[in-house]
Every structure is written in C-alpha cells, then in structure tokens.
Amino acid sequence: MLRGDPRVGAAVADAHRREWAFVLAATVRVTRDLDLAEECVQDAYAKALTAWPATGIPRNTGAWLTTTARRRALDLLRRQATAARALPLLVENSLDEAEPQRRTGGIADDRLRLVFVCCHPTLSRDAQVALTLRLLCGLSTAEVARAFLVGEPTMSARITRAKKKIAQARIPYRVPAPAELPGRVASVCEVVHLLFTTGHAAPTGTELIRRDLVERALDLARMLHTLLPGSADVAGLLALILLTDARRDARLDEHGQPVQLAEQNRGRWDHGAITEGVALARDALRARPPGRFALMAAIAAVHDEAESWDATDWREIVGLYDLLVDLWPSPVVALNRAVAVGFADGPAAGLAALDPLADERQLAGYGYLAAARAEFLARLGRIRDARAAYEEALRLTGNAAERAHLARRLDELTE
C-alpha cells in the first residue's frame, strides 16, 4: 500500500467517526488526565496516516488506535516520572478491564463512564454538555459551539475551564453509585440528546446526517435505559431518539438531498422503531408532571402515527408545544411551536408567531428561523420577502446538503 493512498485517509476518517470515543475513554484510564489522553489519541490518529500505508489498514482499527494511544501515554508518563504517582483525575490504578466492570454494576463501556465524569455536578450544565460532546464524541470545538449557538472562542474557553475543574476536583472515572444516579441523569440525558441532534442535522459538512453520532447517541440512550429502567426522563429520551430517527431512510432523496417531512415516503420509515418509541413515550408520559423529553417524544409520535402529512393533528402538536414551552422555555422550542402554529392556523398566524423571535439573541445566527419565515412568506405570495429570507438562511447555514436544499427552494421562487 503506497503512501498517499486515499484508502488510508478514508479509513482514518472512518475510524475517527466510529472509534474516537472508545479510544479516548480507554486512554483516559491510563493517563488519568483528559488533556494528556486527548494528545495521545490525536498522536495515534496521526501515526495511522504514516504507518498504515506501509503495514496495511488493520482489521480492527479501533484496537490498533487504542493500543498505540495507550503506549504513547505510558511512554510520556514514564518520561515524566509520574507513572507510579497518583494523578489528580481518576481513581483506577489497574489496567485490568474486569475490575472497573465489577465496580460499575456490569456497565462495561468506558464511554458511559466518561459521560458521567464529564457530567459531574461540580461543573455547570453547559460545561458538562460541551465537554462530553468534545471528548466523548470527538466533535470539534466549532461543532460544539454551533450546537450551543455561541462563538468558537467562548466555547474553547468553556471547555478548557471544565477540564481544569475536573482535575482540581479529583473526579473519579466511574459510573456513580445507585444512590447518586438520579441527580446526575438529567445532565447525561441532555448530553445524549445534543449528541443526537448534532448527528440528526449536522451543522457543517457535506452530509445532512452524521450516522455515527446518531448511532452513538442511540447506543448511549439504550445503555442508560438498561441502567435506569425506572427513569421517565431516560425512557422519554430513548423514545424521542427512536421516533425521530425512524424517518432516517426517507429524509434524503437518491441524490442525497433533504426531503421535507411533508414529502417523505412514510413507507420507508422504520415502523419497528416507531412501535418501540411510542410504547416508551407512553411510559414516560405517566410521570407527573411529564418531563421535557417525554413531551418531545409525544410530538414526534404524533408525526409518526399520522397516515399522511395532511392527516397530522397540528392542534395536538401545538398543545404539546404549549406544555413544553412552560416546562422548558427555549428560543428553539418557541420557533418549533411557531412553525406548528403556521400549519395549524395558516401561514399568516405562523409568521406572526415567528416575528417576535427575530429579537432573540440566541437565534441571531440560526438559519432555521429565516428558513421558516421564508416558507410562510412564500405561501402568502410575498415572493420578494421570501427570497430575501431564503438568502438570509443560506448565509447562516453551514451544511452543504441543507444549503443545496435552500438554494433549490430559492430557484423555485425565481421560476
């Protein structure tokens, strides 16, 4: 295999998408230091680019990267003469895999341990979510910033502060004891949900869907449901992911371009996932009052159970959004509610509900607000205003597939 072989670059990129979380979490066991572990894992990926052209792409890329990163970590620790001295982050002193599994009640996935480390209550909620997305999921700082609707420098500083606080607080690398779990699960659910939404509609790149992130979020949600089967929040989260991701195969056309919900072939939806998700949503809604994820899952269920777009019960969806806005006030939830109002009561009502959101600072760079306005303006026949809104949405959208979709809608207005 020759240096510069495109197959190597593709294999390394695929390993980054699929294996980053495993490799980093396993390396943290050795370093007990998040920054050092990140450095060693990045070195391992860089080494793969130079080693694999000569040796061939290994059958198990994750194992190769993990071994390389951990060897690099041990080498650095020996050089620093710290291998035998307790470091301030993690409690495991053995590399034996069975011992941590016994202590965490049979949950043997290092990724889940790392989620709980990053979601420790000594950190702020935003720091918990941001750090987990950065470390566990391998998202760039720019991608995490986009998920939070903040600037990249702000997010970089937030992540750095969170890492320092973990080290100073001597946070252990483990799944919390059963008595500690209820207080920690809300943060973990938010992490998994943001991970899913980032993969469901990727903020940057050429593809609308990052399947690796979607599948990772689904895996983590299932792990949490196994760990906490009685948690309504976890059941609601898993239901939401299943019901939303059930439409995955119908969201793109044969050219990889986005297909709007109204135009999707519902026969391509995963009806097994819908059945499972609806059952979980019903369980989650039995909690009083129902939680945020249960309400969001209920909204997704209304869409999934409708036989067609025209049969969608928009009044019920607006009512569910009213409950959600009261429970979890958010500009994005208000935006989604306004869109639902537009389909329930007509485009003029939807536009009236959207207009006050123009002053929301968090939505200033959010392309979906401009795109929603454009849709309603077009339906009202205000073509010039709709074109301006589509052009604004294009300026604010970083994903190539979504940009192509918006450009096509703009061209249709020209015609």
* Span 330-414 CATH architecture: Alpha Horseshoe (1.25)
Q: In which band, very low, low, confident or very high, does the pLDDT at 85 lie, cut at 50, 70 and 90? A: low
User: Would you kindly state where each structural domain of the chain is located, as residue ranges?
Assistant: 6-80, 120-172, 181-312, 330-414
Q: What is the pLDDT of residue 109?
A: 64
Please state, in angstroms and rounded to a whole number, the distance separating the CA atoms of residues 73 and 53: 24
Res. 175: pLDDT tops 90: no
Q: What is the pLDDT of residue 119?
A: 83
Provide the CATH number for the domain formed by 6-80 in this structure: 1.10.1740.10
Mean pLDDT: which of 79-88, 189-198, 202-211, 322-331 is highest? 322-331
* Per-residue model confidence as pLDDT tens digits over 119-165: 888 888 778 878 877 887 777 888 888 777 788 999 999 999 988 88
* Per-residue model confidence as pLDDT tens digits over 277-311: 999 999 999 998 999 999 999 999 999 999 999 99
Q: How confident is the model over 36-55, as a mean pLDDT?
A: 93
Topology, domain 120-172: Arc Repressor Mutant, subunit A (1.10.10)
SS (H, E, C) 35-84: HHHHHHHHHHHHHHHHHHHHHCCCCCHHHHHHHHHHHHHHHHHHHCCCCC
Whole-prediction pTM value? 0.76
CB atoms within 10 A of CB 84: 8
- Positive or negative torsion for Cα 24, 30, 36, 39: negative
